[in-house]
Amino acid sequence: MATEIELSKPRLAVFSWALYDLANTLFSFNIVSIHFALWVVNDMNGSDSHYGFANAISMLLVLLTAPILGAISDQTKRRIPFLILTTCLCVLFTLLLGHGGLSTSLLVFIVANYMFQSGLIFYDALLPAVSNDTNRGKVGAFGVGLGYMGSLIGAAMGIFLLEVVGRVAIFKLTALLFMVFSVPCFFFVKEQKSSKLRIGIDTVRNSFLQLKNTFAKAKEFPGLGRFLIGRVFYADAVNTCIIFMGIYVTNELGFTDQDVQILLAYAVIAAIVGAFIWGRLVDAIGPKRCLNIVLYLWVVVLAGIAAIPLLSLPTELMWVFSALAGIAMGGIWCADRPYLLRLAPPQYIGEFFGIYSMVGRFASIAGPIIWVLVAETMGFGRPAAVLSLLLFILISYFILQGVNDRPQKWDENILGSLA
């Protein structure tokens, strides 16, 4: 009996951690990718720039604070309390979306998305609490796979409820489900015991000092800086694709709201299947080779999506590219978190996940701005904006070829000098 209990606790922690992935993916799918974007552009007659700049502003706020949040996470040795706070605030502001007109809702979205993205810093840093070096890829893949169930739930909400209750009600239901699926992580993921949680002026001051030193520390760990630079470019492409794809397929390819939900559900099913395959591949051949394969897939996907309207190809091809995009999406998140864990020592995980988040959010600032510049300001249109994302994927691929992902034995002298 004792053995069964001992075994069940880690499994419960892993499941609870992964369930939070379901919660945040539901939010990302319904709010960031689909319904709020379409509410802005199609329902409220806004433009790509309205939604794109709202995203960019929220990402700028994350960019400015992510290293501080990561440093506080390390100094206090606590992630769960901060995850609870950011999640609750995200839920609160999501409940307010759709009230008070377009401008008010854009401001509310900026806060909700900031809280959502900030929470991911603490969530990502919990991965070592529910895994070890031998199963981290599988655990991460389980989180991604279960997480994409959140997208299926979101798609089902759109297919069966959107025409009945409207988008604003979808916002509220998404917020409530986000909270429900998050609660198990708050209670069943156990962090190592630490001193009392205290955050004062010294903690904040030390966080800024850590921020100053983090970039210097990265030089001591081979490949870490190069990996983070490469991540800027592929995260730029992937995040921008997520943000604008609902708008793209409805306005450029003529898909209805119902079509979009079914198309994305199809992509999510491919992502779920792919996530479990990627997890095993990460453990078998390493995150670098897996990420290379993923980037090849993204080249095919983005080239194909742009070619459909440019070359007047059949829109049915979007179903093929949607499935490939789903597989590639699962591969990105399965590979790059273990990739970072190969390049950074355990005691600096929270700090470097702050930088990891920071460079990704920088990409999320640049991506929408470049999309708007190409599609609207320069007048080249949305297909040309997709091709700009393809360029980012190619740049990231060449940057990452100089990174070695072999497991490392950390030099105690170097670690001691950085302490």
Q: Name the pLDDT band for 5 (thresholds 50, 70, 90).
A: very low
Q: Is residue 253 scored above 70 in pLDDT? A: yes
Closest CA to 341 of 242, 260, 223: 223
Distance between CA atoms of residues 396 and 163, nearest Å: 41
Give residue for tokens 């929470």: 119
Angle between helices 224-251 and 317-343 (to 10 degrees): 160
pLDDT at 208 over 80: no
Measured CA to CA, the distance from residue 86 to residue 73 in angstroms comes to: 13
As a whole number of angstroms, the distance between CA 102 and CA 238 comes to 26
Neighbouring residues of 407: CB distance < 8 A, sequence distance ≥ 6: 133, 342
- Six token digits for residue 381: 């249109």
Radius of gyration of the chain (CA): 21
Q: Which of the 8 DSSP states describes residue 195?
A: S
Is residue 166 scored above 80 in pLDDT?
yes
Whether this prediction's pTM lies above 0.75 is answered by: yes
Give residue-wise pLDDT tens across range 358-376. 787 788 888 999 999 999 9
Q: What value does the mean pLDDT take over residues 76-97?
A: 93
Tokens found for residue 88: 């609750």
pLDDT at 237: 93
Name the residue among 258, 241, 223 with its Cα closest to residue 342.
Answer: 223
For residue 244, what are the contacts with CB-CB under 8 A and spacing of at least 6? 37, 48, 51, 52, 368, 371, 382, 385
* Phi, psi (degrees; rounded to nearest 5) at 97: -60, 145
The fold of the 9-189+205-418 domain, in CATH, is Growth Hormone; Chain: A; (1.20.1250)
Q: Is the pLDDT of residue 219 over 80?
A: no
| 167 has pLDDT over 50 | yes
- 316-337: pLDDT as tens digits: 999 999 999 989 987 887 888 8
Q: Is the pLDDT of residue 66 over 80?
A: no
Summarised one tens digit per residue, pLDDT across range 21-46 is 999 999 999 999 899 999 999 999 99
- Residue 67 CA to residue 350 CA, distance in Å, equals 9
pLDDT over 60 (residue 414): no
**The two three-digit tokens of residue 200, written as one number:** 């004062």
